Amino acid sequence: MAVISTPATLERALPVMDNAEVLRIRNDFPVLNQRVNGQPLVYLDSGATSQNPVSVIEAEQEFYEQRNAAVHRGAHHLAVEATEAFEDARQTIADFIGAGYEETIWTSNATEGLNLISYALSNAGLWAARGRGDQSLRELALVPGDEIVVTEMEHHANLIPWQELAFRTGATLRYIPIDDHGSLRMDAAATVIGPRTKVLAFTHASNVLGIINPVQELTALGRAAGALVVLDACQSAPHLPVNVKELDVDFAVLSGHKMLAPTGIGVLYGRQELLDILPPFLTGGSMITTVTMEQAEYLPAPQRFEAGTQRISQAVALAAAANYLTETGLDRIHTWESELGQRMVVGLESIPGVRVLGPAAGKERIGLAAFDVEGVHAHDVGQFLDSRGIAVRVGHHCAQPLHRRLGLTATTRASAYLYNTTDDVDCFLEAVAGVRAYFRA
């Protein structure tokens, strides 16, 4: 009888990743086997969108070829199989992040998940004001005088929804500042988070700085204040083990397209007791029990927050992506990417005229580095690298306040993943070293 390996077993059995293994892994990613501008593709933009292994592509294709049907709505064979695949995928993702099955909600992306929470809290206030819901719901409603706390390093997706929630409810938005190196000022956090804080939302890992924030320390401050804690796990869940129960957060979001899955699929985790009392964000079919011409009653989570036809094939593909990462070993992936990140920073810091954002060499970071080249605009840097077959991200990376705080308008960002080698990083560094001479900066 075959022995099924658990994630923990796989972690113990597999050796540390090296270039030889990564080159084998690259064979699973067809898009990487091409040339760009006459050069072998060096893909260092996974922080924006990762590539898809064959197993993920085939999982979505197989769904369409074998069991394409609407879920939860039919008694015929294909509908039953589609529903089973869809809900099996939910269980896979719940296991992947340490959540309960009923606590795992499909969204289009992390941005939708954050907006879902924001609007559900808005609706909590409306329901409470009009006599719907019980005391526990009324306690979630925000009113003037309440405070929402974010950080100065947030992606716009974890900032603007809270700005709008503050506008709709009369609450005040506050933020935890960063220091000149980009680290959160935890001394300030202890004073910004206080008895009026109703929501504390922050990123696990910065998409610009590469910093891994002290989640449990921040969560403890939020718990002491009685606040809801919301975690943006977009840059952490694809790269290192994340267990939402161990982190003790109330909500967390992630996007599939950053973790080897297709676009158009994301996940919202929420504590069961909160999801079951929060009003829905979108309404319509599939999330109701009884409907009259005057009113409707809603299902519990997760269906409560999944109105309409869902992202069925994408969910199946996301589950395949999660399995690929688990089988490879997230601890191993994190160790390898950390090595690549350190290699980037050491190399960039040695190039005259280059300023690296975030932790200095030797300090913990995920496998990305954003940098500024003196005298050369980030877009020009990106085009120069592209001419050499190197794909990076340029701009403000949806973090304008962070860039403004650091005295910049745009940066270039290189972000590695499990399919990048040290040769990729060295090729990138060699190209960056030639930027200022090329532009005569």
State which of 307, 326, 345 marks the end of a domain: 326
SS3 at position 354: strand
CATH label of the domain that carries residue 319: 3.40.640.10
The number of CA neighbours under 13 Å toward the Cβ of 37 is 10
- Which of 294, 326, 358 is a domain's end point? 326
The answer to whether 150 touches 159, Cβ cutoff 8 Å, is yes
168 within domain boundaries: yes
- The domain tally of the chain equals 2
Mean pLDDT of the chain: 95
Same-domain status, 37 and 153: no
**H or E element at residue 423:** helix 422-433
Instruction: Measure Cα distances from 9 to 6, 23, 322, 337 in Å.
Output: 5, 24, 16, 21
Same domain, 394 and 291: no
Q: Could you list the active site residues?
A: 398
Structure tokens at 137: 């719901």
Measured distance between the N- and C-terminal CA atoms of the chain, rounded to whole angstroms? 66
Please give the residue range of the domain that contains residue 240: 65-326
Q: Are residues 153 and 210 in the same domain?
A: yes
Of 326, 352, 367, the residue at which a domain comes to its end is 326
Are residues 286 and 388 part of one domain? no
| 57 assigned to some structural domain | no
Q: Do residues 136 and 174 share a domain? A: yes
Count CB-CB contacts under 10 A for residue 148.
Answer: 27
pLDDT in tens, the chain (441 residues): 233 334 444 445 578 999 999 999 999 999 999 999 999 999 999 999 999 999 999 999 999 999 999 998 878 999 999 999 999 999 999 999 999 999 999 999 999 999 999 999 999 999 988 989 888 999 999 999 999 999 999 999 999 999 999 999 999 999 999 999 999 999 999 999 999 999 999 999 999 999 999 999 999 999 999 999 999 999 999 999 999 999 999 999 999 999 999 999 999 999 999 999 999 999 999 999 999 999 999 999 999 999 999 999 999 999 999 999 999 999 999 999 999 999 999 999 999 999 999 999 999 999 999 999 999 999 999 999 999 999 999 999 999 999 999 999 999 999 999 999 999 999 999 999 999 999 998
E strands, 12-59, in order: 35-36, 39-40, 42-43
Residues 72 and 151 in one domain: yes
Q: For residue 401, give the CATH number of its domain.
A: 3.90.1150.10
Mark whether 173 and 92 lie in a shared domain.
yes
* pLDDT at position 13: 58
Least Cα distance to 131 among 145, 116, 146, 141 occurs for: 141
Residues 249 and 319 both lie in one domain: yes
Look at the chain and count its residues.
441
User: Nearest 5°: CA angle at 33, between 340 and 44?
Assistant: 30
Q: Are residues 97 and 158 in the same domain?
A: yes
d(CA 355, CA 359): 12
Residues 85, 19 within the same domain: no
92 lies in some domain: yes
